[in-house]
Amino acid sequence: MINAYLGVDIGSISTKGVIIDDHNKILASSYIWTKGNPMEAVKTLIHNLENQIDKTKINIIGVGTTGSARKLIGTMLNANVIKNEITAHAIGTLSLYPDVKTIFEIGGQDSKIILIEDGIVVDYAMNTLCAAGTGAFLSSQASRLGVEVEDFGNIALTSKKPTKIAARCTVFAESDLVHKLQMGYKKEDIIAGLCKSVVSNYLNNVGKGKKIKTPIIFQGGVSKNVGVKKAFEEEVGSEVIVDPNGHLMGALGVAILSKKAPTKTNFQFSITEDNFETRGIECNRCPNHCEIICISKNKQLIDAWGNRCSNGDIFHKQ
Ligand code: SF4
């Protein structure tokens, strides 16, 4: 039996997971869509990981979760580490690129920048509010242009003269794109222009005022778009590295962190057969009206959170 560690990064668009060994070697990995149902997504993810390993030879002693639903999924998986995305991505990336100074991350609905000095996060910024410049923005523009978003990057690379697109906001970008199409601009030039606008939006938003140093690692779903990678390199004037496992860095980071946790987990692959439910209860004991989230496993309450004072603890027992 070898010791192994499970890391799960659960976002609103995608769910990523890895199983690693003591040397951080990835033994199994999976990337699926969350489809608005994090609990079902995690069950599918665990099935996918389970199918890639020999369970008789692996003992999972650590589980880490990160991402927007990290608390919920952490409870479900009996995680011994629950960490924010910044820490998780930094630890995962540093395990492969110990000299990294800047991490660009653009996902389906948000983006972030992480600045690192001597292996320590010294600054970061996140954009979770504006869809402009994210994967969702590129997907909607791709369908408007009648091309697959997966082909966006390669089409952009064929452009000789990228069209300037105003992409500070999705509404302006869409109307500008329609306008440029009507004026007869070539599709590849518009697509290259969109890739450039994603980069300028990013650098003027999360990257504003940040001192960008090399080596730079670009990750998140949008990093698979070679057009955006090229646009970043032109804008910052240096190489931008995209790791083939860049989409797994958050999951890898929390799996590594779970190794160092003081407690071990008793994770079982059979959790995929358990019935998990969540419900929200409003506490009316004061004007705060806290919404307390209760999670139960096979009808037994296993965790609850959301109350701002101990008066709400009563709901943790119901
Ligand atoms: S949990 Fe505490 S702060 Fe929240 S509504 Fe109840 S009494 Fe008020």
List the chain domain ranges: 2-93+250-273, 98-242, 276-317
Let me know if domain 98-242 sits in CATH 3.30.420.40.
Answer: yes
Residue type at 44 in one-letter notation: T
Tell me, what's the pLDDT at 24? 96
pLDDT band at 168 (very low <50, low <70, confident <90, very high): low
Q: How far is CA 69 from the centre of its chain?
A: 11
Tokens of 262: 């003081």
Terminal CA-to-CA distance of the chain, rounded, Å?
40
The C-alpha atoms of residue 17 and residue 10 are separated, in whole angstroms, by 8
Q: What is the position in ligand 1's atom list of the atom closest to the CA of 285?
A: 7
Provide the pLDDT confidence category of residue 23 given band limits of 50, 70 and 90: very high
Ligand 1 and 178: CB distance under 6 A? no
302 Cα: distance to centroid of ligand 1 (angstroms): 20
Q: How many Å apart are CA 154 and CA 152, to the nearest integer?
A: 6
Residue 290 near ligand 1, beta carbon < 6 Å:
yes
pLDDT of residue 131: 62
pTM for the structure as a whole: 0.85
58 pLDDT band, cuts 50/70/90, is: very high
Question: 161 in ligand 1 pocket by Cβ < 6 Å?
Answer: no
Q: Given pLDDT bands bounded at 50, 70 and 90, which one contains residue 108?
A: confident
CATH number of the domain at 2-93+250-273, please?
3.30.420.40
- Of 290, 267, 258, the C-alpha closest to 58 is 267
- CA dist 303 to 71, 74, 297, Å? 10, 10, 9
Nearest CA to ligand 1 atom 7: 285
Cβ atoms within 10 Å of 289's Cβ, excluding its own:
9
Report which protein residue has its CA nearest ligand 1's atom 2. 309
Which tens digit of pLDDT belongs to each residue from 255-307? 999 998 888 888 889 988 999 988 898 999 899 999 998 888 888 888 888 88
Residue closest to 256 by CA, chosen among 86, 2, 22: 22
The protein residue with its alpha carbon nearest to ligand 1, atom 8, reads 286
Ligand 1 centroid to residue 294 C-alpha, Å: 15
Answer whether 2-93+250-273 and 98-242 agree in fold.
yes
Q: Distance between CA 245 and CA 242 in Å, rounded?
A: 8
Q: Which helix (H) or strand (E) holds 166?
A: none
